[in-house]
Amino acid sequence: MEYRKFGNNEQLSAIGLGCMSMSHAYGVPDDTESIATLHTALDLGITFWDTADVYGNGRNEELISKVLTPNRAKIFIATKFGFTTDATGKMSFNGSPAYVKSAVEASLKRLRIDTIDLYYAHRIDPNVPVEEMVGAMAELVKEGKIRYLGLSEASVSSIKKAHAVHPISAVQSEYSLLTREVEQHVLPACQELGIAFVPFSPLARGLMTNTLNIEELGENDFRKKLPRYQPQYQENNQQLAAGFAELAAQLGCTPAQLALAWVLAQGDNIIPIPGTKKRKNLTDNAGSVAVKLSGQHLHQIEELLAKYPNTGDRYDEASKQLVDKDS
């Protein structure tokens, strides 16, 4: 495994591990395989793990704790707070200082640790000034409950306001070959401010692996509700994935490795966290650090993407409303 600089003196694995799918959103959980995957991550040197309190309503943090707690010194753990659901199941975000303080205590208890390495606000609360939310998070640093602050799906204006209150060490957003909005403003801002950028879903939720059969997704797989995975985009995306797989074969790697190598090539401050609950996928992802792309390779990828532009949006309208954007 290769490592990348984070914060002042941390070295994190260049490929992290997104743990959401072990307990949330992607089909039926398999705790036995998930635990084995976490142990495999340690064997591979993948030490940067990402979870959130909302994943499985806390069950993901509890699952991870089984491997995290006895291996605490080896793992850099990130979790997030803020999503809540009402009695009807409607999801909203709470970034109030009072909620920040209660949420961190609950996460620490579930993770069975004393300090969280990286604590993210899972979204930006439009009803709470970002300075107040980050101020409350900064108090947790002083108390020794968290070490670094992060924001997820934040706009440049929110990032800069937050960074002025307390250093923001990481910004997390969706970023892949098919989701590139952050290239316009967020990525340059992170580079300017010395903030790590952490892409989630860097494999386009499996689409760029050329192994995703949308028709076989289970009813409890949340991708069935996302525009990109609907029938009207299926032919375009299947052709794109097949063409990408051919290019990967020419380069002697798998499609997943090529997709992750492309993300890694976009900046030294970028640390993607592909999610999986399977050992074989984790091992495949880890191999991406050995794939080095030339300018010609990157050009070939751009030509292929231009050939199949009808990929569909990443989120539905309800999910878009929870993403912070500059006006």
Neighbours of 26 (CB within 10 A): 20
Q: Of 180, 191, 176, whose CA–CA distance to 260 is shortest? A: 176
The DSSP result for 135-187, as a single string, is HHHHHHHHTTSEEEEEEES--HHHHHHHHHHS-EEEEEEE-BTTB-GGGTTHH
The whole-angstrom separation of Cα 244 and Cα 310 is: 15
The position carrying tokens 């051919």 is 246
Q: Which amino acid is at 269?
A: N
The whole-angstrom separation of Cα 47 and Cα 77 is: 8
Residue 286 backbone phi and psi in degrees, to 5: -60, -30
User: Would you say 35 and 278 are in contact if contact means Cβ atoms under 8 Å apart?
Assistant: no
Beta strands at 10-13 and 3-6: parallel, antiparallel or unpaired:
antiparallel
The whole-angstrom separation of Cα 312 and Cα 293 is: 27
Q: Which amino acid is at 168?
A: I
Q: Of 126, 194, 183, whose CA–CA distance to 160 is shortest? A: 194
Our answer to whether residue 55 is catalytic in this structure is: yes
Catalytic residue from among 3, 26, 55, 99: 55
Which H/E stretch holds residue 259? helix 255-264
The position carrying tokens 């809540």 is 84
The whole-angstrom separation of Cα 273 and Cα 200 is: 5
The whole-angstrom separation of Cα 33 and Cα 36 is: 5
The whole-angstrom separation of Cα 309 and Cα 325 is: 23
Active site residues: 55
